[in-house]
A and B are shown apart, each in its own frame.
Chain A
Amino acid sequence: MVPLSYYLVLSGFLFACGVAGFLIKRNIITIFMSIELMLNGVNLSFVAFAAHWHAAGGETHGIVPLSGQVFVFFVMVVAAAEAAVGLAIIIAVYRTRETLNVDQVNLLKL
């Protein structure tokens, strides 16, 4: 038996790593991967809470059983849509700027 809090600490650590990568990285693709890391951290806490409420009898508290696992699907859908659009934007930026360094992408219009 693993306490719920262990999962939450791991989830928080993954989210914090994502935030740190988002702030310190300079490559736009790596920044994008940091966002995916944050989403994964959130997903882990969704699944952990779903399992916790399944074991603790959340139906009596008005919680739809296993809804946390369904939320993970919606997060994945948003992540997939975001990855498709974001990578297309990166390709468009690279086509006009010829760089992936976010420090050099500092003007809206060339």
Chain B
Amino acid sequence: MLSIHLILFLAFGAVCVAGAVNLLAQTHPINSALSLIAVMAALAGEYLLLGAEFVAAVQVIVYAGAIMVLFVFTIMLLNAGEEERTKGSRVAVSFGIPGMLLGSILVGWVVLRHSGTEAVVAGALPGDPKVIGQLLFHEFLLPFEITSVLILIAIMGAVVLASKPPTAPARKVVD
């Protein structure tokens, strides 16, 4: 029986899978970036299905918004073109693809065998901003403060790395 929850899961999941495969198939980075945005937007839908409404909003704002804008901006700035394909190693093809198939079949079988566990009911949303905020500022206060330091260091590092290197001072001619 197809419930509306399962139908929505399959729809968003299909967009995720298509976007992820398209990211691999495209040669131009801007096409890959756009398919990654599609993956992130569809993942926000999956988060809503799981009851994480605040995480879904942050996913759209931070990931699909801020981070991907940074990526697209860099692609435009560096004028990135089509990537050149190089030949992969023969060992990777002859062992990697059968190994990947075997591994995915094994993992899928093990995970799906225990599929009696049910996820949250659609509509019961436990992840509203109030609950998340209380968690962040009570149980996870120390990690939260540490991440602010991390962000500060990342900002300074990005500014230092991306700034133009100072041109070498003209050598002083001593007499």
List residues of A whose CB falls within 8 A of some B CB.
1-10, 12-14, 16-18, 20-21, 23-27, 29-30, 32-34, 36-37, 40, 43-44, 47-48, 50-52, 54-56, 64-67, 69-70, 72-74, 76-85, 87-92, 94-95, 100-101, 103
Contact = CB atoms under 8 A, between A and B. Distances in A.
Contacts, number: 228
Contacts of B92: 23
A3 B117 CA distance: 6
A40 B40 contact: yes
A28 B77 CA distance: 14
A30 B161 contact: no
Contacts of B5: 1-2
A92 B162 contact: yes
Contacts of B13: 6, 10
29 contacts: A1-B3, A2-B5, A5-B117, A6-B9, A17-B20, A27-B29, A30-B29, A30-B32, A33-B71, A36-B63, A50-B50, A52-B119, A55-B119, A65-B126, A66-B126, A66-B131, A66-B135, A67-B139, A69-B55, A74-B143, A74-B147, A77-B147, A80-B67, A81-B151, A83-B67, A84-B158, A90-B78, A92-B161, A100-B80
Nearest to B26: A30
Interface of B: 3, 5-6, 9, 13, 16-17, 20-21, 23-24, 29, 32-33, 36, 39-40, 43, 46-47, 49-52, 54-55, 58-59, 62-63, 66-67, 70-71, 74-75, 77-78, 80, 83-86, 88, 92, 100, 104, 107-108, 111-112, 114-121, 126-127, 131-132, 135-136, 139-140, 143, 147, 150-151, 153-155, 157-162, 164-165
A22 to B, nearest CB: 10
Contact of B119 (A3, A13, A70): A3
A interface, over-half SS:
helix
